[in-house]
Each structure stands twice: as C-alpha cells, then as structure tokens.
C-alpha cells in the first residue's frame, strides 16, 4: 500500500490503518521521546500523546512533508512541551522551598535505567551525565543534536523535522558539539575526574 492510500485510510479512521500506523511508528516515536525525556514512563506517556494528536489531527495533514516527518515533528514538539511543563514545575517547587514548603527536586531520580538504541554507554551514570549535558543546550541545538546523534537521523531528515535548512542544521550541530564539550569539560574538572 502506498503512502497516499495509507493516508486516505487514516483520514477515514479505519482501525486497520491505525494498527498499521502503530506497527510502523510506535517504536520510533517512543525512542524519539526517550531521547528528549530520558525517563521510560514519561516517554511512554508522551508517545501516547503523540498518537492521540496524530489521530485527532490527521484530517488536517496536508502532505507538505512525509507522514514520518510530520509524526517526528509532533513527537519532538510533545517532548519539548513536556520539558517546559517540567521546568515550570521545578521553578514553582523552588519557590515553594524558599517559603519553607519542602518539595523534592532530586534530579537523579528523574533518569531511569534504559537502553536507548542510539546510546551504547555502559553505565547509567554516564547516560545521566550525557543527557543532563544535552538538556543544557539551547533548544534548537538540543533538537538537531538529539535527532541526528541520538536517533541517528540524516541531516536531510533533521532538516525536514526541524524545518531548518541543511546548512542551519550543520551549524547548529557544530555549536551543539562545541557547547557539549564545554559543559562536559567543566563538569569533569569540577568533579575531579
């Protein structure tokens, strides 16, 4: 079945089309969410939100990009929305702790043990350090770095998903790598490693 026929079936809300959609994209969407939000339970929740959004918005899909690019874009946006909500809660929690109400902000509990296909590090601690460093990158750099280096997408795919030119993607990747090097160097000097 070609993509246009598949899209017609999705827009007609055929159950078989949604089953196929899940078969084709469930693992990819979960891995993308996990790349941005390295917590298995949260990534599963976000992935579920992505498919709800796809279901609710498929009628609005105009076909200006491929279906996979559109789904990746939704996955990235939902992950970033989650991160923004989480950061807002942390700021609120910090303000509460200043007023005497204790709210645990232990970041180390946020990261869970997982085996992301794009990251082959042996120890959980190294994974946490890497993802914390990636999390400190500016949003545009974090998006292109994660999609290219963690999810293994090509420059062309990253360009389509991020809606940036390939030269912009290359530039953002260069700056992301430079910033990560600085962040990690500072961390390891501070830790005396």
* pLDDT confidence of residue 104: 37
At what angle are helices 67-98 and 3-11 packed, to 10 degrees?
Answer: 50
- pLDDT at residue 55 above 50? yes
* Complete domains list, the chain, with CATH: 1-110 (1.10.1740.10), 115-193 (1.10.10.10)
pTM for this model (two decimals) = 0.74
Residues 118, 31: Cα–Cα separation, whole Å? 9
d(CA 41, CA 35) in angstroms, rounded, equals: 13
Residue 107 confidence (pLDDT): 43
Collapse the DSSP code of 37 into the 3-class scheme (helix H, G, I; strand E, B; otherwise coil) and give the result. Answer: coil
What's the rounded mean pLDDT across residues 33-39?
89
pLDDT at 109: 39
Per-state percent for the chain, helix, strand, coil, to nearest 5: 75, 0, 25
Poorest-pLDDT segment among 6-20, 33-47, 50-64, 117-131 = 117-131
| 95: confidence class by pLDDT, cuts 50, 70, 90 | very low
Which DSSP symbol is given to 152? -
The pLDDT of 34-49, averaged and rounded, is 92
Mean pLDDT of the residues in the chain: 83
Neighbouring C-alpha atoms within 13 Å toward the C-beta of 33? 26
Nearest CA to 75 among 32, 137, 131? Answer: 32
Q: Per-residue pLDDT averaged across 48-63, rounded?
A: 92
HSE at residue 91, side-chain half, CA atoms within 13 A, is: 6
pLDDT-based confidence at residue 89 (cuts at 50, 70, 90) = low
Q: What are phi and psi of 99, to 5 degrees?
A: -90, 5
Give one DSSP letter per residue of 42-101, joined into a string.
Answer: HHHHHHHHHHHHHHHHGGG---SS-HHHHHHHHHHHHHHHHHHHHHHHHHHHHHHHHTT-
Tokens read off for 136: 């400190």
| Tens-digit pLDDT profile for residues 119-155 | 554 566 777 888 888 989 999 999 999 999 988 999 9
Residue with tokens 């579920």: 48
pLDDT at 181: 93
Structure tokens at 120: 């082959």
């Amino acid at each position: 079945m070609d993509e246009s026929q598949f899209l017609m079936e999705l827009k007609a809300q055929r159950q078989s089309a949604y089953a196929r959609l899940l078969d084709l994209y469930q693992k990819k969407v979960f891995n993308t969410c996990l790349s941005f939000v390295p917590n298995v339970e949260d990534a599963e929740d976000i992935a579920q939100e992505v498919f709800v959004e796809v279901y609710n918005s498929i009628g609005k899909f105009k076909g200006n990009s491929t279906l996979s690019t559109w789904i990746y874009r939704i996955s990235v946006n939902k992950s970033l929305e989650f991160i923004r909500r989480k950061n807002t809660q942390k700021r609120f929690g910090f303000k509460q702790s200043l007023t005497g109400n204790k709210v645990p902000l232990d970041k180390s509990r946020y990261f869970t043990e997982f085996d992301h296909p794009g990251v082959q590090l042996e120890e959980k601690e190294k994974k946490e350090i890497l993802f914390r460093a990636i999390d400190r990158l500016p949003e545009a750099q974090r998006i292109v770095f994660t999609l290219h280096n963690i999810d293994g997408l090509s420059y062309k795919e990253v360009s389509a998903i991020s809606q940036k030119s390939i030269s912009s993607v290359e530039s953002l990747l260069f700056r992301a790598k430079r910033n990560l090097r600085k962040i990690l160097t500072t961390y390891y000097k501070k830790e005396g490693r």
